[in-house]
Amino acid sequence: MINRTVVDVTDFGAKSGGTFDCTKAFIAAIAMLKSSGGIQNGKLYVPAGIYKITSQIVIPFMTGFRIQGDSRGGTIIRQFTNNMPIFNFGTSLTHSWKISDITLDYNTPQTSAFTKSAPIYFDLSSGTADGYFNFEIENCTLTNGYYGVLMNPNVQLAVWGATIRKCNIGSMSGGAVKLLPNPAVGQPIIKLEDCYIHCRGMQERAIFIGYSDTVLLDTVEFNEGDFSTLPVIEITTCYNVTLINCRTESFRIETKGGNYFFWSFPNSSAYLIGCTITNTTISGGGDTYLVNAGTNGKLTVQGLITDAQLKAGGTVTAAKADDFLMACNLRAIAPVTRYNQAWSPRLDVDLIQRPKTTDRADVDVTLTASDSLIQRFKKLSTKRTIHLPSVGVYPGLQFTVIKATIAPFPLTVNDPFVSNNDVVLPVGSKASVTYLATSATEWQPISFNTWP
């Protein structure tokens, strides 16, 4: 049984209401925890109310301690000084701690110039560069800062065993979570579970994590952001990255004519299971990669689904990596490349082509890669030609052309790549032919039928 020392911040002079400066009360309460043996299992309790602070609360070397509020909506700690953390973990080897049931916010929204405005901030004011171990942030709201959880980007720190669970992070000028040691040093396990991240106003990556053995994002929703050059998620140089049931919704992407990576996992082994990208508009004319593992990356995708509201101003590529495994189910209103820089065949993409029938008028037709699977001619008043597409073609794309009339005129299906690969549906009978694309520049007829 854990013998935990519990102190109430109001016993040290803190007053709720949001007007009294409670900074000294928090510092005194934490000092009391440490001096009374709280180095092992102390708990700082913060009752319901709004608590004003004007400086950072530096957490000394303590293990197994807790900072707990009454509830996420009931307890609010509000920073009134710009460019200042709320909780600063400034001593390495601090471990086994937890913050829960609290809202941490700023009195005024912090701009991206205030790069220390993070509710949870890791620095190195004392100790070694060994890092921090086994911490949890649970049932908290982090808002109005630069980043929600931030590691000082100019020190070589590592976070070993981090869990952010059931948290809301939003109204940030930078992003939500940035744990990126500089210079690089390993970070074994980092997890985000059941979190909601509101991305409006973010000017940097919502998630930026690097050099970890294992990163898990489980049931994390990213909502409503405007991005142009930086990805929404970037997890770099990690052995094992897993996204399960993650969702991005209502984003606006401006590629500015260049390549854009929506979720990016450079030099990592990434696994996507049951993820969704929905209601996202893309403009700017550049190429957009929904998932990127980059050079030396490995990607396993089992369920990546977009709805019909994904509209692209350029080419949308399902995924890019040196190595692919398993399958991806993708739907989008745009030309979509099946895979990029991968050894074939490793990614099965359900593109914008729909298994529907289009009845064609009595005219010549040139198809696009986004046209319906079945093309039917019910009437011919003269010989007609239907041209297969020559751009946007990907392995697995196919068309079935039906001559549903016995009119005495032929219907020719034209291969734009090879002159002697046309198929003529004959006069005097009904007929059909199916073509399958085996590469971006090759069509093959795979079936031919006639009937009276």
Which of 19-23, 42-46, 392-396, 419-423 is modeled with the greatest confidence?
19-23
Confidence of residue 94 (pLDDT cuts 50, 70, 90): low
Q: What is the mean pLDDT of residues 198-215?
A: 94
pLDDT grade, residue 109 (50/70/90)?
very high
Verify that 143 and 182 share a domain, yes or no.
Answer: yes
Same domain, residue pair 52 and 192: yes
Where does the pLDDT of residue 159 fall: very low under 50, low under 70, confident under 90, or very high at 90 and above? Answer: confident
Q: What is the pTM of this model?
A: 0.75
Indicate which CATH number applies to the domain containing 180: 2.160.20.10
Six token digits for residue 214 = 């294992």
Q: What is the pLDDT of residues 130-156, one digit of tens each?
A: 556 678 999 999 999 999 999 887 776
Residue 348 lies in a domain: no
Token digits of residue 53: 């602070």
Last residue of a domain, one of 337, 371, 390: 337
Cβ proximity of 63 and 94 under 8 Å? yes
Say whether both 307 and 366 belong to one domain: no
pLDDT digits (tens, 9 = 90+) for 432-442: 999 999 888 99
Q: How far is CA 332 from CA 131, 139, 205, 238, 354, in A?
A: 43, 35, 24, 29, 11
Is residue 221 situated within a structural domain? yes
Nearest-angstrom CA–CA distance, 15 and 204: 36
Instruction: Give me the pLDDT at residue 2, please.
Output: 44
Domain boundary among 337, 369, 390: 337
pLDDT at 42: 82
Backbone phi, psi, residue 30, to 5°: -70, -40
Residues 32 and 113 in one domain: yes
Q: Mean of the per-residue pLDDT values for the chain?
A: 85
280 domain residue, yes or no: yes
- In this prediction, residue 396 carries a pLDDT of 77
Domain CATH number, residue 376:
2.60.120
Contacts of residue 35, Cβ cutoff 8 Å, sequence gap at least 6: none
Cα 442 vs. chain centroid, distance in angstroms?
Answer: 34
Give the contacts of 371 (CB within 8 A, at least 6 positions apart): 353, 358, 389, 399
**Residues paired with 233 in a beta bridge:** 207, 263
Q: Which of 84-98, 180-194, 200-214 has the highest mean pLDDT?
A: 200-214
For residue 199, give Cα distances in angstroms to 152, 172, 212, 232, 242. 21, 7, 24, 9, 21
For 1, residues 6+ apart whose C-beta sits below 8 A from its C-beta are none
Quote the pLDDT of residue 127. Answer: 43
Same domain, 313 and 377: no
Distance from C-alpha of 235 to C-alpha of 10, rounded to nearest angstrom: 41
Nearest to 106 by CA among 140, 145, 76, 72: 145
pLDDT digits (tens, 9 = 90+) for 220-273: 999 999 999 999 999 999 989 999 999 999 999 988 888 889 999 999 999 998
Pairing of strands 95-100, 66-69: parallel
Q: Is residue 425 part of a domain?
A: yes
Residue 444 forms part of a structural domain:
yes
Range of the domain at 283: 6-337
Whether residue 309 is contained in a domain is answered as yes
One domain, residues 258 and 401: no
Task: Verify that 60 and 149 share a domain, yes or no.
Answer: yes
- Asked if 148 and 236 sit in the same domain, the reply is yes
Per-residue confidence (pLDDT) for residue 200, from 0 to 100? 96
Q: Of 426, 437, 360, which is closest to residue 392 (Cα–Cα)?
A: 437
Residue 350 lies in a domain: no
The two tokens of residue 308 are 């019909």
Q: Are 41 and 68 in contact (CB under 8 A)?
A: no
Query: Of 384, 390, 385, 360, nearest to 372 (Cα)?
Result: 360
Q: CA 21: distance to chain centroid?
A: 39
Do 129 and 52 share a domain, yes or no?
yes
Q: Is residue 268 part of a domain?
A: yes
Q: What is the mean pLDDT of residues 45-53?
A: 98
Name residue, tokens 């739907």: 331
Q: 337, 367, 391 — which closes off a domain?
A: 337
Tally of structural domains, the chain: 2
- How many residues make up the chain in this entry? 452
How do strand 423-425 and strand 260-264 relate by DSSP bridges? Answer: unpaired
Q: For the chain, what is the HEC assignment?
A: CCCCCEEEHHHHCCCCCCCCECHHHHHHHHHHHHHHHHHHHCEEEECCEEEEECCCEEECCCECCEEEECCCCCEEEEECCCCCCCEEEEECCCEEEEEECCEEEECCCCCCCCCCCCCEEEEEEECCCCCEEEEEEECCEEECCCEEEEECCCCCCCEEEEEEECCEEECCCCEEEEECCCCCCCEEEEEEEEEEEECCCCCCCCEEEECEEEEEEEEEEEEEEEECCCCCEEEECCCEEEEECCEEEEEEEECCCCCEEEEECCCCEEEEEEEEEECCEEECCCCEEEEEEEEEEEEEEEEEEECCCCECCCCEEEEEEEEEEEECCCCCECCEECCECCCCCCCCCCCCCCCCEEEECCCCEECCCCCCCEEEECCCCCCEEEECCCCCCCCCCEEEEEECCCCCCCEEEECCCCCCCCEEECCCCEEEEEEEEEECCEEEEEEEEEEC
**Is residue 49 domain-shared with residue 197, that is, in the same domain?**
yes
Quick one: 251 and 399 in the same domain?
no
For residues 168 and 112, membership in a common domain is answered with yes
